[in-house]
């Protein structure tokens, strides 16, 4: 798998904004002193008159975007996940979510793979926070192709959207040609019947590698990419539960409140006999270190996924 | 402003006070103190200043008003009802299940409400976002927002003011209702926001202080706001919390409490007497 090209989904976010900006004059962008890191700077370079730096004031930025959206503009707001979902939670909840305004939050630097900056900047709680807001769409793309399509789908969708992008370059696992993205729809990346690996974000590629390793052990693993965490593709999850009876959820997020719990809730309420193991950050804060090493240390790798899946067989 | 126009506005403010209290009394819940302190402001905005059309409440070119101090919704609802955005009888459904009149303003339910507010400090940011968007879109509309003097303890207010000045939002008018009282007591004792105009000027705004119960002073301030270019404008209104009802005036306890049946009778009697006096002069 080493020949896969690698691109950070935050770069995909920035380039998709620039493409959309050329087509849609009503698209404006807000950032909070992180335009270089969130990659909204790519949009700013092309459309300086439609990019507004709000300074280090994320709460104000969210409500400013809410106000701008009531005038008919389509604001994309960006900061690190920690500050977009964490610091500004209440502004997102009350000024964007409650009035169901047409604001798109592009949060970068999600998860433990932020790396060297350490725990204060490694947000592993954003899925939980954003899922809890009524009417909020919550998504996390697996690669560049999906991320760019997702940003465009977010523009076309009417209502509040939270998207989480990552800092490090991650493998491109989709073919550009013929790819289409629909909010709320997951996809089967690899067929299998012994166990289902349900992943999103950078763990989708790891799940594919895990499935390959499991095949070597005679275990047939289905790999599902659920880029939309809310609304969840319940049909795809229930089908996997029926067909495989064993599921491993894989997310670069706390095991509390994210993809894993969303999957568990759907299966439990359907009353299906299915074992689920949640692979994620186990109710812990991160720490400084290179992203690749941190992911291994926190058990977020193909090897860990394969091990957990094999333990269910 | 002609004496006759002033008299008409004063009478409208009196009716607005009665309407707000009717709603709060019917709900047996709500915030009279800050609704009454801003009665002249609501009246001036909705009967003089704002370019709005009750028949077309979503007109894209209209002026916007954001009630950042959202708890004084009864005052806003009374203004909207008197101006014809919805029937006056609706006021009696305030805070009831099924009513479009929520405890705090909801832009998706109530005709004429431009932003959902209630969590303090956020409305001014939304207003700044509207003003910025109007600039981007080349719309001539103006944006007004009303804050409480306790509300400006929220740090977000100052983030929004910094933003409004940075982007030269001279189409934004920030009004602060300095009635001097918040839930726990005098603002100066709870957490002093003073001196307010000086702080606003330090953030780059043009700021004036007025008697918030004097229509001529309000008119002069709003005229100056419209003529000011390059910076946002702030109007700090010195007001009396609970104004117009003797036993509610300057009492922090009337921040968020409905009057009893007897208190309501007395309040309405006082306001009816005030209205009759204005009518006699007219």
Domains of chain A in sequence order = 6-171 (3.40.50.970), 187-312 (3.40.50.920)
Averaged pLDDT, A119-138:
98
At a CB cut-off of 8 Å and minimum separation 6, what does A133 contact?
A92, A93, A97, A160
Q: Distance between CA atoms of A107 and A164, rounded to whole angstroms?
A: 5
Residue B28 confidence (pLDDT): 97
How far away is chain B from the Cα of A55, in angstroms, using its nearest Cα? 8
Whether the link from the prior residue into A91 is cis, omega within 30° of 0, is no
| Contact at CB, A71 and B106, closer than 8 angstroms | no
Q: Is some CB atom of chain A closer than 8 A to the CB atom of B270?
A: no
- Could you tell me the pLDDT band of residue B281, with boundaries at 50, 70 and 90? confident
What are A160-194's pLDDT values in tens digits? 999 999 999 999 999 999 999 999 999 999 999 99
State chain B's maximal CA–CA distance in angstroms: 53
Q: How far is CA B23 from CA A197, B90, B110, in A?
A: 57, 9, 15
What are B135-176's pLDDT values in tens digits? 999 999 999 999 999 999 999 999 999 999 999 999 999 999
pLDDT at A96 over 60: yes
Q: Are B102 and B74 in contact (CB under 8 A)?
A: no
Q: How far is CA B63 from CA A95, B101, B121, B165, B245, in A?
A: 20, 21, 21, 20, 31
**A31 has which bridge partners?**
A53, A78
Question: Given this structure, which CATH class describes domain B3-281?
Answer: alpha beta
- The percentage of chain B sitting over the pLDDT mark of 70, rounded to a whole number, equals 100
Catalytic-labelled residue, pool A58, A125, A187, A252: A58
Q: Distance between CA atoms of A81 and A99, rounded to whole angstroms?
A: 22
Chain centroid to Cα A29, Å, comes to 20
**First-to-last C-alpha distance (Å) of chain B:** 15
Residue B52 confidence (pLDDT): 98
User: Could you tell me how many residues make up chain A?
Assistant: 313
Look-up: residue for tokens 């600039």?
B135
Q: What angle do CA B162, B163, B169 make, to 5 degrees?
A: 110
Which residue in A297, A113, A84, A78 sits closest to A205, CA to CA?
A: A113
- Could you tell me the pLDDT band of residue A1, with boundaries at 50, 70 and 90? very low
Q: Distance between CA atoms of B160 and A15, rounded to whole angstroms?
A: 29
Q: How far is CA A254 from CA A110, A251, A299, in A?
A: 11, 8, 12
Selecting from A57, A63, A69 the residue whose C-beta is nearest the C-beta of B122 gives A63
Which chain B residues have a beta carbon less than 8 Å from that of A61? 125
Q: How far is CA B186 from CA B34, B114, B157, B193, in A?
A: 13, 30, 20, 11
pLDDT at A2 over 60: no
Say which residue, A2 or B181, is predicted with more confidence: B181
How far away is chain B from the Cα of A113, in angstroms, using its nearest Cα? 30
Averaged pLDDT, A265-289:
98
In chain A, the residue whose alpha carbon lies closest to the alpha carbon of B145 is A67
What are B221-258's pLDDT values in tens digits? 999 999 999 999 999 999 999 999 999 999 999 999 99
H or E stretch covering A27: strand A27-31
pLDDT at A92 over 80: yes
What are A213-264's pLDDT values in tens digits? 999 999 999 999 999 999 999 999 999 999 999 999 999 999 999 999 999 9
pLDDT at B282 over 80: no
Look-up: residue for tokens 């495989």?
A244
What are B50-72's pLDDT values in tens digits? 999 999 999 999 999 999 999 99
User: What value of ipTM does the predicted structure carry?
Assistant: 0.97
What are A98-110's pLDDT values in tens digits? 999 999 999 999 9
Mean pLDDT of chain A: 97
What are B75-99's pLDDT values in tens digits? 999 999 999 999 999 999 999 999 9
Q: How many CB pairs under 8 A join A and B?
A: 108
**First-to-last C-alpha distance (Å) of chain A:** 25
What are B26-36's pLDDT values in tens digits? 999 999 999 99
């Amino acid at each position: 798998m080493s020949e896969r090209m690698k691109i950070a989904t935050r770069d995909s976010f920035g380039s998709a904004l620039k493409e959309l900006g050329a087509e849609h004059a009503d698209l404006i962008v807000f950032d909070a002193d992180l335009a270089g890191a969130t990659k909204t700077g790519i949009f700013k370079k092309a459309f300086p008159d439609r990019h507004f730096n709000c300074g280090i004031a994320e709460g104000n930025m969210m409500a400013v975007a809410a106000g701008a959206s009531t005038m008919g503009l389509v604001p994309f707001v960006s900061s690190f996940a920690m500050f977009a979902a964490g610091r500004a939670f209440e502004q997102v909840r009350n000024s964007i979510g409650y009035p169901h305004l047409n604001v798109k939050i592009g949060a970068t630097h999600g998860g433990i793979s932020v790396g060297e900056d350490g725990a204060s900047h490694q947000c592993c709680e954003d899925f939980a926070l954003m899922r809890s807001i009524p009417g909020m769409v919550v998504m996390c793309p697996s690669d560049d192709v999906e991320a760019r399509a997702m940003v465009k789908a977010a523009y076309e969708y009417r209502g509040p959207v939270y998207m989480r992008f990552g800092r490090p370059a991650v493998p491109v696992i989709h073919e550009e040609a013929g790819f289409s993205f629909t909010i709320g729809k997951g996809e089967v990346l690899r067929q299998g019947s012994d166990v289902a690996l349900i992943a999103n974000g950078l763990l989708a590629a790891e799940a594919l590698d895990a499935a390959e390793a499991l095949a070597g052990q005679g275990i047939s693993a289905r790999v599902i990419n659920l880029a939309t965490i809310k609304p969840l593709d319940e049909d795809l999850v229930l089908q996997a539960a029926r067909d495989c009876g064993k599921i491993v959820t894989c997310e670069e997020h706390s095991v509390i409140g994210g993809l894993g719990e969303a999957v568990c809730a759907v299966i439990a309420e359907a009353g299906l006999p299915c074992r689920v193991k949640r692979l994620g950050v186990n109710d812990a804060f991160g720490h400084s270190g290179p992203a690749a090493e941190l992911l291994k240390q926190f058990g977020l790798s193909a090897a860990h996924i394969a091990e957990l899946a094999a333990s269910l067989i | 402003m002609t004496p006759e126009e002033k008299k008409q506005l004063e009478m409208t403010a009196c009716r607005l006070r009665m309407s707000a209290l009717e709603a709060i009394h019917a709900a047996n819940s709500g915030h009279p103190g800050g609704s009454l302190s801003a009665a002249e402001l609501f009246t001036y905005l909705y009967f003089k200043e704002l370019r709005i059309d009750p028949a077309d409440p979503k007109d894209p070119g209209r002026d916007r008003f954001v009630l950042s101090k959202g708890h004084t919704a009864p005052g806003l609802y009374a203004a909207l009802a008197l101006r014809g955005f919805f029937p006056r009888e609706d006021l009696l459904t305030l805070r009831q299940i099924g009513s479009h009149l929520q405890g705090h303003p909801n832009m998706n339910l109530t005709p004429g409400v431009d932003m959902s507010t209630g969590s303090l400090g956020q409305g001014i940011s939304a207003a700044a976002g509207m003003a910025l968007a109007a600039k981007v879109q080349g719309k001539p509309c103006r944006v007004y927002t009303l804050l409480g003097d306790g509300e400006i303890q929220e740090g977000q207010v100052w983030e929004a003011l910094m933003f409004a000045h940075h982007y030269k939002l001279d189409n934004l008018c920030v009004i602060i209702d300095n009635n001097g009282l918040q839930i726990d007591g005098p603002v100066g004792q709870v957490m002093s926001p003073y001196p307010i105009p000086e702080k606003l000027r330090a953030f780059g705004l043009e700021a004036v202080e007025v008697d918030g119960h004097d229509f001529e002073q309000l008119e002069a301030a709003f005229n100056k706001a419209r003529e000011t270019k390059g910076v946002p404008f702030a109007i700090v209104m010195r007001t009396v919390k609970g104004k117009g009802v003797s036993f509610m005036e300057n009492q922090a306890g009337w921040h968020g409490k409905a009057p009893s049946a007897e208190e309501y009778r007395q309040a309405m009697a006082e306001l009816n007497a005030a209205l009759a006096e204005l009518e006699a002069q007219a």
